[in-house]
Amino acid sequence: MITEFTASLFDELESLYPDSDASQGKKEIIVSGANGMTVGAHIMLNGLTPGLPIAVEVKGPHTSFKLFELIPVPVEVGTGARQRSAYLHDDVNESVIRKAPFYVYDALKPIYNLLMPTGVTAAIAFKTLIEYIREYREDTWTITISHAGKVQTLKITVHAYPASVEKAGKTTHKYVNWVSYANIAKYHHVEMDSPAYFKLLDKYLKMAVYLRQNLININVDMFIKYENGEAIVDEARFDKYIAAFKKAGFECFHGTGLCGRMEGQGDNDEFYNSLDHDKIESPEEVRKAFRKVAFDKFDNGTRAAESFTGKDMQTEEGQTVLRACARALYKYLVSRGLEKDWEQCLLDEPNDALADVYKIISKIAHEEMPGILMMEPVLPTHALTGYIDIWCPTIETYENDRAYYDERVQNGDSLYVYTCLTPGGKYLNRMLDMQRLRQTYLGWAPAKYENISGFLHWGYNQFLDDQDPYDRSACMFSEGIMQFHPKLDLFLPAGDFSIVYPGFNTVYHTTRAEAQRIGLEDLCLLEKIDPEKKKEIVDKVFKGYTEYELDVDKYRAAREALLREASKK
């Protein structure tokens, strides 16, 4: 560990840890971008004296820059070699950045020019927006860091190109993270729908737009109730949320599931109490029982319920409720001119077991919402052809069954892909123990797989079971106080449930979110250049969801080539 005050620069796509060695960084670094891109670098600080401030002075061509303190978060258990965490299959994933447990810098807390260290190390992020570039130029930023009477000077040179990346909107690659509106209220201790809540919502939404999200999820059951045989739309509340979404910059809307699975994961006390404890000899038997029931219910459950009253969709009553609520939703959308910008999810992750009930749901939705495209995150199945308009398999499902999904596009359907707690191993995903380039390449993949027009992830701010996201990253959907039930197999991998963190009356984004944003900005330029040049550049660093270049310098070289090509007149 370095004892003398040291500061150095690292590429923002390199993972940094509280024990990172600042002497391994650089005093000068080059970053590149074009109009509309945000670029930056990370600064690692060693040899700090807790309680003595760090002062940061930035001098450059203008004042359009921001500084952030990097906040470390835990990785308690590694991502599995196949899916979820390593607990599930007791497997060893050789593709992670470090063996768990460890802390890694992820959250970005805005600061101005001072930072009070609480330990002997700290990290800072510098970011600047590139704009108003008509001809290629090089800008230099000098960063002077003072601490305990000592000074370190760093230099960042920005290669600024005249190409332009448009803001995320209707015409850019579709991208949705599911926002938890309830968690905004819960984690900031405000009442939902209060003025304070809508101020926070605006910040969460604008952050999502900055991260290039252009589809916003809308939980329909927040606005539609079924009472006394009638679907009732709370139009005033619906209007207020739509206005908030539009104010933040959203023009496209993603209705979340009108129905849900009836069989849960058995991840509760009810299942635990149902076990024959007189015959159990070890807590490991309880662990195996939890694992078995969870996967049996998820893989083999055949029943679904509508989301408004919880009625079984294989009953006439459930179908009546869904039909009425879908009709009411459609009427509202048409009355507000939203029907052309709305896609609707029906039942998250249907598989072969749920195919029969899904067909019932899809038929009703298509009849009551004519012209609305039904979008679905799907598990591996060929049983739903003709019932889905926008297919959304996981990236490994798509890559393993490309012919089927590409045929869907050829026949007029659309195609998104998604990741969640799966896949693990070497696949691209957004876990904390994965290289940041693996988030960046989620943006490059559609340049190779051109039928893919969107990306979905469930985890924007889906913090679980009142967990402090700064203290827990890998956890279960239910985890009671002083609960000794061994349910390790059900752990979500670290980082799955969120790419933002709650701050003081604001939202903090992350290094992972930034990495994916960078890739999506790259995609905007890749889509504009000559197809042969695009293939040449993409092939240098990305060949598939498990075959890609992890050398950051080689990625930067490919990106520089992209910037030059996109800037040709």
Per-residue pLDDT of 69-117, as tens digits, reads 999 999 999 999 888 887 777 788 999 999 999 999 999 999 999 999 9
Of the candidates 137, 166, 195, which is a domain's last residue? 166
- Binned at pLDDT 50, 70 and 90, residue 252 comes out as very high
Is there a contact between 106 and 470 (Cβ–Cβ < 8 Å)?
A: no
Q: What is the pLDDT of residue 485?
A: 64
SS3 label, residue 165: coil
3-state DSSP helix/strand/coil % of the chain, to nearest 5? 35, 25, 40
Q: Are residues 202 and 154 in the same domain?
A: no
The DSSP 8-state label assigned to residue 410 in this structure reads: H
Residues in CB range of 243: below 8 A, 6 or more apart: none
336-394 pLDDT per residue, tens: 999 999 999 999 999 999 999 999 999 999 999 999 999 999 999 999 999 999 999 99
Q: Are residues 57 and 178 in the same domain?
A: no
483-494 pLDDT per residue, tens: 676 677 888 899
Considering only CA atoms, which of 48, 44, 47 is closest in space to residue 12? 44
Euclidean distance between CA atoms 403 and 239, whole angstroms: 42
Euclidean distance between CA atoms 271 and 225, whole angstroms: 30
**pLDDT, averaged across the chain:** 95
Q: Are residues 309 and 161 in the same domain?
A: no
Residue 543 included in any domain: no
Q: Where are the alpha helices (DSSP H) in 163-265?
A: 181-188, 195-210, 235-248
173-219 pLDDT per residue, tens: 999 999 999 999 999 999 999 999 999 999 999 999 999 999 999 99
- The CATH number assigned to the domain holding 502 equals 3.20.20
Structure-token pair, residue 355: 């195919």
Q: What is the pLDDT of residue 240?
A: 99
When divided into structural domains, the chain yields a total of 2
Q: Are residues 378 and 243 in the same domain?
A: yes
Residue 569 included in any domain: no
Of the candidates 138, 166, 194, which is a domain's last residue? 166
Antiparallel, parallel or unpaired: β 390-393 and 414-419: parallel
Euclidean distance between CA atoms 443 and 459, whole angstroms: 17
Residues in CB range of 551: below 8 A, 6 or more apart: none
Q: Are residues 207 and 118 in the same domain?
A: no
The DSSP 8-state label assigned to residue 217 in this structure reads: E
Q: Are residues 201 and 106 in the same domain?
A: no
Considering only CA atoms, which of 208, 207, 230 is closest in space to residue 217? 208
Q: What is the pLDDT of residue 127?
A: 99
Q: Are residues 132 and 214 in the same domain?
A: no
Residue 408 included in any domain: yes
The string over 252-286, giving b where at least 16 C-beta atoms fall within 10 Å of a residue's C-beta and e elsewhere, is: bbbbbbbbbbbbbbbbbeebbeeeeeeeeeeeeeb
Q: What is the pLDDT of residue 82?
A: 84
Considering only CA atoms, which of 529, 543, 536 is closest in space to residue 557? 536
pLDDT over 90 (residue 246): yes
Given the structure tokens 């507000």, which residue do they identify?
336
Q: How many CB atoms lie within 10 A of CB 197?
A: 16
The DSSP 8-state label assigned to residue 134 in this structure reads: S
pTM of model > 0.75: yes
- Binned at pLDDT 50, 70 and 90, residue 267 comes out as low
What residues pair up with 456 in beta bridges, in sequence order?
Answer: 176, 418
Helices 552-566 and 437-448 cross at an angle (nearest 10°) of 40
Q: Are residues 201 and 129 in the same domain?
A: no
Euclidean distance between CA atoms 106 and 72, whole angstroms: 6
Q: Are residues 373 and 391 in the same domain?
A: yes
Q: Are residues 392 and 500 in the same domain?
A: yes
Q: How far is CA 207 from the centre of its chain?
A: 12
Helices 181-188 and 195-210 cross at an angle (nearest 10°) of 120
pLDDT over 90 (residue 395): yes
SS3 label, residue 184: helix
Q: What is the pLDDT of residue 92?
A: 85
Q: What is the pLDDT of residue 265?
A: 60
447-483 pLDDT per residue, tens: 999 999 999 999 999 998 778 999 999 887 767 665 6
Sheet holding 342-344, edge to edge: 174-177, 454-457, 414-419, 390-393, 373-378, 342-344, 252-255, 215-218
- Binned at pLDDT 50, 70 and 90, residue 1 comes out as low
Euclidean distance between CA atoms 206 and 245, whole angstroms: 9
Is there a contact between 226 and 220 (Cβ–Cβ < 8 Å)?
A: no
Q: What is the pLDDT of residue 266?
A: 63
- The CATH number assigned to the domain holding 153 equals 2.60.40.10
Range of the domain at 96: 6-166
| Percent with pLDDT over 90 in the chain | 87
Q: How far is CA 53 from the centre of its chain?
A: 34
Q: What is the pLDDT of residue 481?
A: 63
Residue 115 included in any domain: yes
Euclidean distance between CA atoms 419 and 18, whole angstroms: 28
SS3 label, residue 436: coil
Q: How many CB atoms lie within 10 A of CB 540?
A: 16
Q: Where are the alpha helices (DSSP H) in 411-530?
A: 437-448, 511-526
Q: Are residues 155 and 251 in the same domain?
A: no
Query: Would you give the end-to-end CA distance of the chain in angstroms?
Result: 50
Q: Are residues 126 and 255 in the same domain?
A: no
Residue 335 included in any domain: yes
Structure-token pair, residue 27: 């005093």
